[in-house]
Structure 1
Amino acid sequence: MRVLHTADFHAGRNLRGYDRTPEIHEALIEIAALARSEKADAVLVSGDLFDTGNPSADAEAAVFDFFLRLRDAGIPGIVIAGNHDSSARLESVTGLLGWVGIQAVAQPTANPLDMVRSIETKGGETLTVGALPYLSERRLVKAADLMGGDTGAWRQKYREGMGFFLRRLGEGFRAGSVNMLMAHATMDGAVPSGSERTLQFDLTNQYTLSGLQLPAGAQYVALGHIHKPQQISEAPLACYPGSIIQLDFGEGGEKKQVNLIEVEAGRPARVHVLPLASGRELKTIRADLDNVEARIKALGDFDGLLKVVVRAPAGTALPGLKDRVLKLAPNTLAVDLEANQEDLALPELKREGLSLTQLYEQYYRERRGELPDDLRAAFKEADEAARAEEVA
């Protein structure tokens, strides 16, 4: 049996005002063609089909076109919701997706065995998949609180809650079938991309799973959520295929891929990496103020998307800098200012002891200037709401 594993499309991603959806659509066309040329028996998509819970029409068209291409090739698939997806929105189209051979598991059910899906391949083999969509850490911890216990051990509660689902999904594996697990989660030891969303990653993804919690009967664990391709466990074999294009500048230089798994019932799986060529390359260059133009000219015919970070004394205002850069490199999406290292030692630029709102003010000031009052109020309100939800 040949199973193609992919994840993290993020259709609808907007990077510094630039819509990446056409590139994502191109990558999805490439993946559908690979599924056909590699004679895949099934395709697994491990969450984050969309970048937001309310995607644009173009984003939906790109994803649904991908599923239609699989239908035209006679290749069935299974998808789960990720943390960027609206599970309710995906749930509403599960019936329609079923008509084109795509089984969607958007929300966890009271009986985890209801999340076990199976595909009968053209070769007469059976693929059984325990499909676990993204489970909100806060909701899972809150559910654990209702069952009593130590309210301070949040991480342990998350592991215990997820462990319950994983064990029950493993009970759905069948003898004589190829058995796999799908999940959208962060595993211990996973290495994230050097994303611009690193701060968000640190704050909201503090809950992780241990490889020891994965069902031993899984011949392959199809993971999603981490954008850097990597194998995370050997027994059972567990992999993140990563995002399908370089989604932000933190992923610049990463080679993107999908995984093709060859496997037979009761035998170890083998993973083959299929590189992807779609999507514009992202690059970040850092330069001192006096050599910005020389650094840009040295790029030659680079036709990807560019981020230019200019090192300058803290508090420096450089009107017209972005226009100068854009004149040299029209493919530049961002021109940021970065304080010199010696300035970072100044007390006013230190970060210890600062609140989240103060950190955001400092981040904004270092890159764009003074934080507008409406943005400060909105950020503070969101921070307070998140903290209230954690306490509730």
Structure 2
Amino acid sequence: MVIMRILHTGDFHAGRQLRGMDRTPEIRAALSEILSIARDSKADAVLVSGDVFDTVNPSAYAEDVVYEFYLGLREAGIPSVTIAGNHDSSERLRSIRGLLKQVGAHMVTHVTPNLQDLVYPVQARDGTLLQVLAFPFLSERKLVKLADIAEGNVSQWRQKYQEGMNFFLRRMASYLRPDAVNMLMMHLTFDGSLPSGSERSFTFDITNSYTVSARMLPEALQYVALGHIHKPQQVSELPPAYYAGSIIQLDFGEAGEQKYVNLIEAEPGRPIKFQQIPLQSGKRLKTVRVKLDQIEQMDSLNAFDGLLRVIVELPAGMGTAGLKERVAKVLPSALAIEIEASQQDLKSRTAGRSNLSDVELFEQYYLERHGALPAEVKEAFLEASRWTLEGEEP
């Protein structure tokens, strides 16, 4: 029997903006690189584990980049299965899944009562069958009712979420086949996973209470393809479960991380062979901390060919007027310049903010970072606040 080769990637975040800079050209280069790897490795299928886009309303350029990738897979004769992530608009992706299916790109956007809709068989060139259980992002609000949250504590919410996920996984296990390569694809936070710090939390609780455990995974699975966490990592040995991670360093929380795609070699009923293939695309990101009296000594950093973030450590009682301009004069290539106040100043500011409303706190934050708060940004903040309180999508 010929061994199947499956490429696992995800977290493209096409349309990503970093401090006003569009990262989509770099994402396009990374997708082109992944397409070449798929061709060269003679991949039988590509699994994309969510967050194809960075926002629910991506730019036309971001859409062009993503659909160009799927067309490239079609030209190479490589089918793909993609799940919607928490950054994606499930409805938007569902609206074009019929078209994408015509080029061999299967898009799974919603969890439906008929779990058969989440099972995608993919046939290899030699006829070997790959059975993909494709489970798109499912908001915890769908599993944990707001009434339960109002009455319970965090541990109870987590238990309800895990019970719901465990139910779906047990039901989906019935679709596994002994004569096929069996894989599961999900977009969520796994127990023990280590975030890069640039992921947007999709939980009510910033400690990521809503997680899935390896104990829930069907033993017959040969590989679990995970998305959402941007740091590439293995989170389970049996069955083997991996985050492929993002395809470029998306934010300064990912500075210094090597990015990969995962290549899995598999045949029915046998352990897989796993390989990480490093990606070369995308600008390197770097954060530099500097004291006030060291600013003029940083000009050597202008030789850095990536994206630079400079944090200036400010002594107590020092003002910030003209400080960013001073750094920019020495380092015109710096993408981000931030001022870090002393602990003494922070305590003083905290005391002065105790009676401020959420919107007043946001206005003060925005003023310190960017200047006066535009009316449209304030309205977006108010809308997001209403969304959070009401538990409904905008």
- Structures share fold, TM-score greater than 0.5: yes
For residues 370-381 of structure 1, what are the structure 2 equivalents within 5 Å? 379-380=381-382
The residue aligned with 2:230 is: 227
Structure 1 residue 207: Cα displacement:
1.1
Task: Encode CA deviations 1:187-219: one digit per residue, 9 max, x unaligned.
Answer: 111100033857999638431111111121110
What is the TM-score normalised by the length of structure 2? 0.89
Structure 1 residue 293: Cα displacement:
2.7
The residue aligned with 1:13 is: 16
Is the contact between residue 315 and residue 366 of structure 1 (CA under 8 Å) also seen in structure 2?
Answer: no
Separation (CA, whole Å) in 2 of partners of 1:314 and 1:369: 22
Separation (CA, whole Å) in 2 of partners of 1:31 and 1:353: 51
Q: Does 1:97 align with 2:109?
A: no
Q: Which runs of 5+ in 1 are unaligned?
A: none
Q: Does 1:276 align with 2:256?
A: no
Q: Does 1:117 align with 2:117?
A: no
Query: Percent of pairs identical after alignment?
Result: 57
Q: What SS does the aligned partner of 1:190 have?
A: coil
For residues 1-392 of structure 1, what are the structure 2 equivalents within 5 Å? 1-142=4-145, 152=153, 153-195=156-198, 203=206, 205-295=208-298, 297-299=299-301, 301-313=303-315, 316-346=318-348, 348=350, 360=362, 363-364=365-366, 367-368=369-370, 379-380=381-382, 382-389=384-391
Separation (CA, whole Å) in 2 of partners of 1:190 and 1:176: 31
Is the contact between residue 201 and residue 208 of structure 2 (CA under 8 Å) also seen in structure 1?
Answer: no
Q: What SS does the aligned partner of 2:230 have?
A: coil
Q: Which amino acid aligns with 1:53?
A: V
Q: Which amino acid aligns with 2:84?
A: A
Q: What SS does the aligned partner of 2:301 have?
A: coil
After alignment, is 324-333 or 89-98 more displaced? 324-333
Task: Encode CA deviations 1:341-374: one digit per residue, 9 max, x unaligned.
Answer: 4434547369999976576466446544676787
Is the contact between residue 337 and residue 366 of structure 1 (CA under 8 Å) also seen in structure 2?
Answer: no
Tell me the matched-pair count.
387
Structure 1 residue 168: Cα displacement:
1.7
What is the TM-score normalised by the length of structure 1? 0.90
Task: Encode CA deviations 1:306-353: one digit per residue, 9 max, x unaligned.
Answer: 111111146754344334433433332211110124434547369999
After alignment, is 42-51 or 299-308 more displaced? 299-308
Cα distance, 1:357–1:136 mapped onto 2, change above 3 Å = same
Q: What SS does the aligned partner of 2:127 have?
A: coil
After alignment, is 358-367 or 243-252 more displaced? 358-367
Q: What SS does the aligned partner of 2:282 have?
A: coil
Q: Which amino acid aligns with 1:54?
A: N
Structure 1 residue 39: Cα displacement:
1.2
